[in-house]
Amino acid sequence: MNGARNVLAKLKQKLRGQGDPSAAKIRRQRALREKIWKGLPFIKLLLFTVGYIWLLVLPSSQLGQGTYIDENALQPGQVNTYWNWGEVHHADRILEDLEQLRDRNATHDEIARYVVTEFEKYGIPARTQSYSFDTIGGEISGTNAYGVLQAPRASGTEAIVISASWLSRTGEGDGTLNLRGVSTVLALAKYLKKYSLWAKDLVFVISDGYLDGMQAWISTYHGETQPNMRAEPLTLQSGVIWTALNIDYPGHSFSHLGIFFEGLNGRLPNQDLMNSVSLISRYTVHVPTLVYDHIDPREDRSQPDLLPAWLPEPFKHNRDVQEYASRAKNIYRHMNYQARGAASGVHGLFHQFRIDAITLFAVPATGPHGFHALGRILESSLRTCNNLLERLHASFFFYLLVAPGTFMKIGSYLPSAILVGTAMLFTGLGEWVKAGWTISPAGVPSSEGVQSEKAKPKDDKRKWQRRHRPVLEPVAIMVLTHILGVVLFLLISTSWFAANQKIAGPITYILFTAIPFMASAFVPRAPSSHASIPSVLKAFNLCFTSAIISITSVLNFSLAATLAVFLGLPLTLASPPPSSSPLSARVAKYAAYSILALGWLVLCPEETRKAIWNWEVLRVWFAPFVCVVYVPLVMQAGLVCLLPS
Amino acid sequence: MDGSGDLAFPALVAARLLLAFAPLPDALKYDQQLSSPLTSYSRLREGIYLFQHGIDPYSGGAFRHSPSLLSLFSTVLPLTPYTSPILWTAADAVAAWALVRIWRLRTGAKETSRDGQIAALYLLNPYIFLPSLALSTSSIESMLCLLAVMFACRGRASAALFALACLVQLSLPAVLLAAPIILLTVTRPVSRLALPQPYHAQWKRIIPLLAEFVGYTALLTFASTVVCGNWLWVEKTWGATLTLPDLTPNPGLWWYFFTEMFDHFRPFFLMVFSVHLLIYIAPLCIKFQHDFLYATFLLLGVQALFKPYPTLSDPGLFLSMFSIFPEIYPYLRHPIVTALIHLHASLLLPLFNSLWLRQGTGNANFFYASTLVFGMGNGAALMDAIWAGLRVAVGELKEGYEVAQE
């Protein structure tokens, strides 16, 4: 017993060193603090480098894993399909009618009434719903048609939606008609009515316009109101919608089935749904699937080459490089949708109500597939959705689909943005510590602050001294810039701005660059014994930005990654100018930041218009986010460079 | 008070009143971070409705408010869309006023330049005004708590103990504050952190005060029973904080633990969690026997962290009370880290709550993780407050010296 205690004591002594344990602890803490402080530039550099390299490596063929079905109840592709040439003929007949309607420029009402009559012919109750949105660009109106096929086998508490919009998603709703998509839904309605095996209500929706019609229908279905929307109430009701399939078939025939999945505000559907559809498509019907409409040039020589022409030949033929290029294209497109919070198709509107939905896009081609293949895919997919006993929950909600059949889990891509955020956090904390200390020449006793605890015994000439850090002023500056961001958002969402965007854009840019510039003259200068306001502002700005990046990354990775790219280095490199620097140098730096913050007002008028439309009609918070969060953060960095220290 | 301070308080209250009547989404009232099952406004309304229609509100499982609130709001102060925002803003205004009074009593000055700042730090603290906008009764609890402390600082024992007894009626964990508040009434609230002295207990004064507190509590309990006509309310209100029957998520640390637990461990861990709250009273009161106001402050921090049904008001009250102890600021070890954890937590809490319950892409673990971050933030603030409160006494250090914690 005693021996054991002795051994323990010796071990302790060896670990802790001789003497007073408290002194040893202090020594240890000091050494650690010094090590961290000395290593901070290296840690920052490492975090930034690893973070950005990780972002670049995301499309690498070494990452990612194969998709699989997680929910056992789905049982995709386990049924015989009976959709046959008779149904295809019926779809062709409907298509002829629709083409006639198109050719004589039928009104929205006429088309909707035609659809309702067709549904009623099959014995499915159907109604129309007219709606209109007031937007700053004018009124949008239209008429939806929908029919509800009551589940013969169940109480109708759950439902599946099969929808097609009048306009195809081609060119993000550039006006191409989705006639074959609409015919498919109608023919499918007649065909599915024959079966008694449905355990869920089937709701068929033919929505008008591209996104606006479905927004009116789905928000009315869920009893949501929107101040600028007027929509007729729905007279036919059904249950809780679990899944929705949206059909987009703009061409004459199709070669591949493209899957579009991004929803509003970056929400993604459960992966099980798209995996099931793609499995059915590939193995039951033998239609190859794609992510979006990206046909791989390795399969189809007629597709434009993804790799730049200047690349040396050996690289062009390297499989890994080719795979990288193809995955990068998919990721870039995904980020483009997700970061802007935009829906990549009509399916995206369902996500806001917790409905998992995708768009099945028939990629236009001269062949070989048509109504026959699409009908079978849909029949089998609906049977699979019909098997569900609870909402889709088993598979992934956070993923990057890098190639058809390959995806990345959240853990393999999230750290990239988080690491950049952490690097900014460390920079901010470093700035905060740096602002709190100053070197005073020897012999001059300071009047302010606590005597240094960090005094270095080696260097007796100079002394580290604590100094006061202003907190209220930088916080006030930050709050004011964010308030200015709110004003900016209110301004650009006026009808005046929309009407005169060509002039209003530059005017707004100049105005919002000038206001902080003028206001900066009123910022008081901190006394020379205190830390300067810009140095503390930089610390807070970096810490706040890092919090924004890390937190957004969970909600919308693409947005966080975009922020990491746009804000990471620029905000870190903003530094309070030395007091000797001329005003012109400071103003030049400030102007550069103002371009980064507000340049989009002048350079991307079309993007701005779209973002505001998305906010007005679909409640996508990208536009307010940019105005209220992004712009002020960059302006703060500009002020760091501008304010005299 | 100087001119600006005179204007600051009414201006702040007016701003809060405007905010209370602003058209805010109704969802705020059902937000799980702003009101717990024990403080929710909609449940209070339901209880009052049942009570007025002759149904015992405590016979169901939804109503867990104290009978004193029931009798108050069903008779003297009816709750309508117009009166409620005024009542809740008034509660916050009274609380802010009490906090300013505590500060003045602590400094011994009649008016100070920081009065307006302290009121602003209370009234504009988002952790306090958001629950108040959601009409969570936790705002009333904060008010009673600050009133009890304020009367104790003034040495008005009866008023302090009555306010505390009322608070205990609304929220049982407040009973933890009885010891420091009684001790505060018999000492002075001025800051003695820098000059700690041993406190010689005056048992002759303390015991009658304790008896008075027990008397008030008994009286209010009896009154509540008369209002209800039976003892069912005890189990539904006080019992809830001990047995945790309602596992609606909240920003605290209890709910997830007991959601996951097997039933046969439940009684044991309920006992452990409840008793755990008690163990802080004696050590904190002994260590800070020279400054019981500080001990009360720290115990409020403990409660905010470990209470069974907390809302954001509880940490909000603790954080706002930092404003009356400026002497500890230079000795805080990691204020910016605490602030950053709170920044992250306050963004993560609503986000993960909506990912789980609204968007459906997350699950309970997401929200639980964010409550852990929030707990870390509160814990960091509490630990730093304890350290700084003790460190003040050592004062400025000479060259080459350092303070260590044994």
pLDDT at B343 over 70: yes
Question: Across the interface, which of A25, A391, A453 has its CB nearest the CB of B397?
Answer: A453
Question: Across the interface, which of B358, B361, B397 has its CB nearest the CB of A451?
Answer: B397
Asked if A450 has any chain B CB less than 8 Å from its own CB, the reply is yes
Asked if B343 has any chain A CB less than 8 Å from its own CB, the reply is yes
User: Domain span at residue B82?
Assistant: 3-394
Distance, in Å, from the CA atom of A164 to the CA atom of A181, rounded to the nearest integer, reads: 6
Among B107, B133, B112, B114, residue whose Cα is nearest residue B19: B133
Question: SS3 of B215, please?
Answer: helix
Please report whether residue B405 resides in a domain.
no
Asked if B330 has any chain A CB less than 8 Å from its own CB, the reply is yes
Asked if A327 and A432 sit in the same domain, the reply is no
Averaged pLDDT of chain B: 91
Q: What is the pLDDT of residues A166-187, one digit of tens each?
A: 999 988 888 899 999 999 999 9
Q: How high is the pLDDT of residue A267? A: 92
Asked if B344 has any chain A CB less than 8 Å from its own CB, the reply is yes
Q: Are A181 and A168 in contact (CB under 8 A)?
A: yes
Asked if B400 has any chain A CB less than 8 Å from its own CB, the reply is yes
Give residue B18's Cα distance to chain centre. 24
For residue B355, give the chain A residue with the closest CA.
A555
Asked if A397 has any chain B CB less than 8 Å from its own CB, the reply is yes
Asked if A50 and A182 sit in the same domain, the reply is no
Using a cut of 0.95, tell me whether the model's pTM lies above it. Answer: no
In total, the C-beta contacts within 8 angstroms joining chain A to chain B are 55
Asked if A100 and A48 sit in the same domain, the reply is no
Asked if A429 has any chain B CB less than 8 Å from its own CB, the reply is yes
Query: Hunting for tokens 């009978």 — which residue is that?
Result: B67
Asked if A397 and A418 sit in the same domain, the reply is no
Report chain A residues whose CB lies below 8 A from the CB of B340: 425, 543, 547
For residue B330, give the chain A residue with the closest CA.
A450
Please report whether residue A242 resides in a domain.
yes
Asked if A410 has any chain B CB less than 8 Å from its own CB, the reply is no
Could you tell me the pLDDT band of residue A351, with boundaries at 50, 70 and 90? very high
User: Domain span at residue A506?
Assistant: 24-57+414-442+453-642
Q: How many domains does chain B have?
A: 1
Q: What is the pLDDT of residues A449-482, one digit of tens each?
A: 444 444 444 445 567 778 888 888 899 999 999 9
Q: How high is the pLDDT of residue A175? A: 86
User: How far is A284 from chain B, CA to nearest CA, in Å?
Assistant: 30
Q: What is the pLDDT of residues B110-154, one digit of tens each?
A: 888 888 889 999 999 999 999 999 999 999 999 999 999 999 999
Which has more pLDDT, A33 or A303?
A: A33
pLDDT at A444 over 50: no
Q: What was the ipTM of the complex prediction?
A: 0.88
Tell if the CB–CB gap between B355 and A554 is shorter than 8 Å. Answer: yes
Tell if the CB–CB gap between B396 and A450 is shorter than 8 Å. Answer: yes
Please report whether residue B399 resides in a domain.
no
Asked if A470 and A604 sit in the same domain, the reply is yes
Q: How high is the pLDDT of residue B142? A: 95
Give the pair of three-digit tokens for residue B147. Answer: 């009133």
Tell if the CB–CB gap between A547 and B347 is shorter than 8 Å. Answer: yes
Q: How many domains does chain A have?
A: 2
Please report whether residue A6 resides in a domain.
no
Tell if the CB–CB gap between A425 and B340 is shorter than 8 Å. Answer: yes
Distance, in Å, from the CA atom of A523 to the CA atom of A517, rounded to the nearest integer, reads: 11
User: How far is B262 from chain A, CA to nearest CA, in Å?
Assistant: 24
Could you tell me the pLDDT band of residue A330, with boundaries at 50, 70 and 90? very high
Strands (E), A136-239: 138-149, 158-165, 201-207, 229-231
Asked if A398 has any chain B CB less than 8 Å from its own CB, the reply is yes
Q: How high is the pLDDT of residue B3? A: 45
User: How far is A569 from chain B, CA to nearest CA, in Å?
Assistant: 21
Question: Across the interface, which of B398, B400, B406 has its CB nearest the CB of A22?
Answer: B406
Asked if A331 and A421 sit in the same domain, the reply is no
Cis peptide bond prior to A368, omega within 30° of 0: yes
pLDDT at A424 over 50: yes
Could you tell me the pLDDT band of residue A442, with boundaries at 50, 70 and 90? low
Q: How high is the pLDDT of residue A346? A: 94
Give the pair of three-digit tokens for residue A399. Answer: 């993923």
For residue A452, give the chain B residue with the closest CA.
B399
Q: How high is the pLDDT of residue B5? A: 53
Report chain A residues whose CB lies below 8 A from the CB of B358: 354
Question: Across the interface, which of A23, A432, A555 has its CB nearest the CB of B351?
Answer: A555
Report chain B residues whose CB lies below 8 A from the CB of A555: 351, 355
Please report whether residue B402 resides in a domain.
no
Report chain A residues whose CB lies below 8 A from the CB of B343: 543-544, 547
For residue A465, give the chain B residue with the closest CA.
B399
Tell if the CB–CB gap between B361 and A429 is shorter than 8 Å. Answer: no
Give residue B263's Cα distance to chain centre. 30
Q: What is the pLDDT of residues B278-316, one digit of tens each?
A: 999 999 999 999 999 999 999 999 999 999 999 999 999
User: Region A437-454: what's the mean pLDDT?
Assistant: 53
3-state SS of A392-449 is CCCCCCCEEEEECCEEEEHHHHHHHHHHHHHHHHHHHHHHHHHHHEEEEECCCCCCCC
Q: What is the pLDDT of residues A118-145, one digit of tens each?
A: 999 999 999 999 999 998 878 999 999 9
Asked if A431 and A334 sit in the same domain, the reply is no
Please report whether residue A14 resides in a domain.
no
Asked if A326 and A473 sit in the same domain, the reply is no
Q: How high is the pLDDT of residue A181? A: 95
Give the pair of three-digit tokens for residue A517. Answer: 């510039």
Q: What is the pLDDT of residues A528-579, one digit of tens each?
A: 788 888 999 999 999 999 999 999 998 899 999 999 999 999 999 988 777 7
Q: How high is the pLDDT of residue A17? A: 63
Please report whether residue B116 resides in a domain.
yes
B62-94: burial string, b at 16+ Cβ within 10 Å, e else: ebbbbbbbbbebbeeeebeeeebbebbbbbbbb
Question: Across the interface, which of B361, B401, B402 has its CB nearest the CB of A397?
Answer: B361
Asked if A384 and A488 sit in the same domain, the reply is no
pLDDT at A36 over 50: yes
Please report whether residue A465 resides in a domain.
yes
User: How far is A303 from chain B, CA to nearest CA, in Å?
Assistant: 36
Quickly count: other Cβ atoms within 10 Å of residue A19's Cβ: 10
Asked if A300 and A419 sit in the same domain, the reply is no
Tell if the CB–CB gap between B396 and A554 is shorter than 8 Å. Answer: no
Question: Across the interface, which of A432, A453, A551 has its CB nearest the CB of B344?
Answer: A551
Tell if the CB–CB gap between B336 and A429 is shorter than 8 Å. Answer: yes
Q: What is the pLDDT of residues B72-111, one digit of tens each?
A: 998 888 888 889 999 999 999 999 999 999 999 999 888 8
Tell if the CB–CB gap between A451 and B406 is shorter than 8 Å. Answer: no
Please report whether residue A1 resides in a domain.
no
Asked if A469 and A498 sit in the same domain, the reply is yes
User: How far is B169 from chain A, CA to nearest CA, in Å?
Assistant: 39
Tell if the CB–CB gap between B343 and A547 is shorter than 8 Å. Answer: yes
Asked if A218 and A277 sit in the same domain, the reply is yes
Q: How high is the pLDDT of residue B228? A: 87
User: How far is A510 from chain B, CA to nearest CA, in Å?
Assistant: 32
Rounded to the nearest 10 degrees, the angle between the axes of helix A271-279 and helix A371-386 is 130
Q: What is the pLDDT of residues B177-235, one digit of tens each?
A: 999 999 999 988 888 888 888 888 788 889 999 999 999 999 999 999 998 888 989 99
**Best residue in A395, A447, A550, A554 to probe B by mutation, most B CBs within 10 Å?**
A554
Rounded to the nearest 10 degrees, the angle between the axes of helix A501-519 and helix A583-598 is 140
Q: How high is the pLDDT of residue B121? A: 92
